[in-house]
Each structure stands twice: as C-alpha cells, then as structure tokens.
Amino acid sequence: MKKVVGWTLTLATLLIGGVLYYFITLSLYEPSKDSFDFPVPINAELVQENGNGKSYDWSKASEENGIPFGYKVVLKANGWKKGEREGASVYYTKGNHKIDLISTTDHLDIITVK
C-alpha cells in the first residue's frame, strides 16, 4: 500500500510540476501583432525595426545553442513548426506564414518571409 501511495504522490508531483512549467513558460512570451502572432520573449528589448522584421537584444539567445528549450515549447504550443536550419537561422511555418528566426549571442531577429 505504501508503494502505491508513494508512486501516486510522485506522479502527481511530476504532473503538477509539468503543468506549472508549461503555463509559466507560456507567460514569458507574447504574440507579435505584425509577425502573424509569432511569440516574442517579453523581456527582449526591441533595438531595431524595419518592414521585414524586428531585432531584439535578449540575453538567452545563443548562436551556438539556438533558442532555449522553453521558447521551443512555446513555439510548438502556438502551432509553429520548425523547418530548415541554416547556421543561426531557423525557419518556422504556421499555415501559409513563414518566419526566419535568427539567434546569435544575446540577439534575436524575427523576420517575416514573404
């Protein structure tokens, strides 16, 4: 009986922890109004904007490692599918929309592909 209670508590803790992680991670990103609602980190600082996209300073961006796992979870949860990768550039698609996400050290570019 003690084993059943122990496993039940362990599974419940893991489930609750996973759900909390998921919702906390989702709250760290907001949809971009001009890039087909592509999620953008709320603590990223906009440094440049042009007709094709926006550039942000973001300490969690990395050229070597790409974007953090939590950002990948948010993109997938919002329906964005990871496509081809070319160096620091990764293409994401959702329906007919395509975004080029470029992650370099402490910098993030979100470019709308037409």
Rounded percentage of the chain residues whose pLDDT exceeds 70? 94
Q: What is the mean pLDDT of residues 25-43?
A: 89
Domain boundaries of the chain, sorted by first residue: 2-113
Predicted confidence band at 55 (pLDDT cuts at 50, 70, 90)? very high
pLDDT for 75 beyond 80: yes
Beta carbons of 48 and 54 less than 8 angstroms apart: yes
Digit-coded pLDDT (tens) for 97-113: 999 999 999 999 999 99
Kindly report the average pLDDT of the chain as a whole number. Answer: 90
Predicted confidence band at 25 (pLDDT cuts at 50, 70, 90)? low
Beta carbons of 52 and 99 less than 8 angstroms apart: no
pLDDT for 12 beyond 90: no
Instruction: Compute the distance between CA of residue 93 and CA of residue 112 in angstroms, rounded to an integer.
Output: 10
Token output for 29: 């990103």
Q: How many CB atoms lie within 10 A of CB 113?
A: 12
